[in-house]
Amino acid sequence: MVINYVFISYRRDDSAGHAGRLFDRLKDRLGADHVFMDVTDLQPGQDFAVELENAVAKANCLLAVIGPRWLGAVDASGRRRIEDPDDFVRREVGAALSNGASVIPVLVHGATMPRADELPAALRALARRQAFTLSDQHWASDLVEFVQFLSAQGDAAAVVSESGATKAARGRGRTIGAVALAVLTLLAGGAWMAFQASNRSTQTTASRPSEADGPRSDNRPATTVPVVPQRAPTVAPTQRFLVALPSVSEVQFRNRRAQVVFTIMAIRQEARAPDTQILTFLVRMLNHGPSDEAFGSHQFRLIAGDQTIVPTNTLISSVEATASKESSLHFLLPNNVADTALEVRMGEESTRMPIALSARSPIPDDAALDSFGRTRPARLVDSLKVFPATLAAGQIAEVGKVDYRITAVVIERQTVEKASITISVRCSAPRGGGGVSFGTNAVRLWVDGVPRAPVNAVNGAVDPGDSKEAPFVFDLVEMPQTLEVSLHNGADSARFPLPLMPLTRR
């Protein structure tokens, strides 16, 4: 079966960021005319329902992106959305199954396949479809294990390795279908090409990144520019410098899925050879929600004169709603570059933050400093004398007619460097309605004013008039100045501090 049109089905408050990443990869490989995603393909004034139905009817492959809240998401009355015949996700998947299209469940963010008895009759066939799991931590390797991507005379050709297929069959219990492999090959293309590029040692030229990565901020037409080699010379690093942050080191983007803030936390410069240098940016992405959003190396470019330089490392991740992540991006550029700019992209928007490389200071070889020359903060495991440690609990909040109670807050040592804090929360649903969703997005920990998502997956629902308790686990390395907890129910939330007195007294 030849895949000629792919429809991406997803819930915006469940997996919008992951779906957006899949769309970007598929669009690059298949072309924009062969992939449909509602946020990008619907125009103002169009009938939303009619256009979705037409697109599903046209597709011979549907990707059902399933996150932790796909099954348990509820409407304003508390009823599961999947039970509503007018639910768009139900209509999309049901129509594709009825049309005989290839329907491939794509599990993201720790989600598991729904059982047939958890689905309405029209969707129960979905439970029998072979699923593919994409993890945030191993996005590229998950795909490369199934397929190998080869480039021949400028045309992309996908070849499935026999050993990779054998591993996949063992890992998943049965061999994935040919259609699924074809789609996965396309998804792996971008990540595999980046991997291959990082191993080339010769100078190459390439067209400027596609408009999928966002237009140039000055609106000049795309041109062919030289790309700096992606593999750094294997020369021992010499002096390292801390480059001063630009006057504007934080930018904010808004789209239909999320409100996102990118912040440059630090910049390091290293000479790697007489004619090359490495710039490393420590960047934080803060997602104010309401949906998950992609966080990847495709969102960043370094502008040096007429050169557009891509990162040498591949970052493929996402940030949950009301959460943040930090990551490093490395760029290889000529030594004679004195001024540059970091371009940050979000969909079709982009902006540039100028960087003056002459504004720098040497990083001393001092164990008290981190790799960016900043003073290392005290570690929590070194500040506490006894584990486990407990913080005051019992806080109560009503969030959107749902009652939450924090029943316990416990800090435990995980490794020599790292601790964890487990916040146990009881959720009580009001009588009447269809219950409430109680999952990972219900609780956030704010460390020194920055929100974090739990590292464990919590998936569940609370029936009307019933209650349920679940632990939410967060990693902690540095000794915090402030800790806060926020509790969420849809668009409603409540936030209050966790007292640190039991910690600071030791």
CA distance readout (Å), 201 to 17, 196, 415: 33, 11, 38
The pairing of beta strand 61-66 with beta strand 102-108: parallel
At which of 156, 182, 197 does a domain end?
Answer: 197
Q: Which residues contact 270 (CB under 8 A, 6 or more apart)?
A: 237, 238, 239, 240, 241, 277, 278, 280
> Residue for token digits 């969703």?
437
Say whether both 69 and 168 belong to one domain: yes
Helix H or strand E segment including 171: helix 162-172
- Kindly indicate the confidence band of residue 176, based on its pLDDT and cuts at 50, 70 and 90: very low
Other CB atoms within a 10 A radius of the CB of residue 154 amount to: 5
Indicate if 29 and 124 belong to the same structural domain: yes
Question: pTM of the prediction?
Answer: 0.59
Please, which pLDDT band fits residue 153 given cuts at 50, 70 and 90?
very low
- Say which CATH number the domain at 180 has: 3.40.50.10140
Domain check: are 193 and 247 in the same one?
Answer: no
| Residue 338 confidence (pLDDT) | 86
Contact 454/473 with Cβ under 8 angstroms?
Answer: yes
416 compared with 443, residue with greater pLDDT: 443
Whether residues 389 and 493 share a domain: the answer is yes
pLDDT (tens digit per residue) in 101-117: 888 898 888 888 999 88
- Domain identity same for 171 and 27: yes
Over residues 11-45, the pLDDT tens digits come to 988 888 778 877 877 776 677 888 888 755 555 55
Higher pLDDT, 18 or 420: 420
> Is the residue at 37 inside a domain?
yes
User: What average pLDDT score do residues 190-205 get?
Assistant: 39
For residue 203, being part of any structural domain is answered with no
Residue 400 and residue 358 share a domain? no
Number of domains comprising the chain: 3
User: Where do we find the tokens 């294990």?
Assistant: 145
- Within a domain: residue 206? no
Report d(CA 17, CA 329) in Å as an integer: 20
Q: Which residue has the higher pLDDT, 425 or 165?
A: 425
Instruction: Tell me the pLDDT of the chain averaged across its residues.
Output: 78
**Domain of 249?**
226-362
- In a shared domain, residues 329 and 454: no
pLDDT at position 46, please?
A: 61
Same-domain status, 336 and 402: no
**Within a domain: 102:** yes
**For residue 471, what pLDDT is reported?**
96
Q: Residue 138: what residue type?
A: H
In sequence order, the 6+-apart residues with CB closer than 8 A to the CB of 502 are 389, 390, 391, 392
Query: pLDDT tens digits for 266-310?
Result: 999 998 777 889 999 999 999 998 888 888 888 999 999 889 999
Based on the fold, state whether residues 231 and 183 are members of the same structural domain.
no
Q: Are strands 61-66 and 6-9 parallel, antiparallel or unpaired?
A: parallel
List pLDDT tens digits, range 132-151. Answer: 887 776 666 554 443 332 22
Kindly state whether residues 235 and 192 are assigned to the same domain: no
Same domain, 489 and 413: yes
Q: Say what percent of the chain tops pLDDT 90.
A: 39
One domain, residues 40 and 172: yes
Q: What is the CATH number of the domain that holds 461?
A: 2.60.40.1240
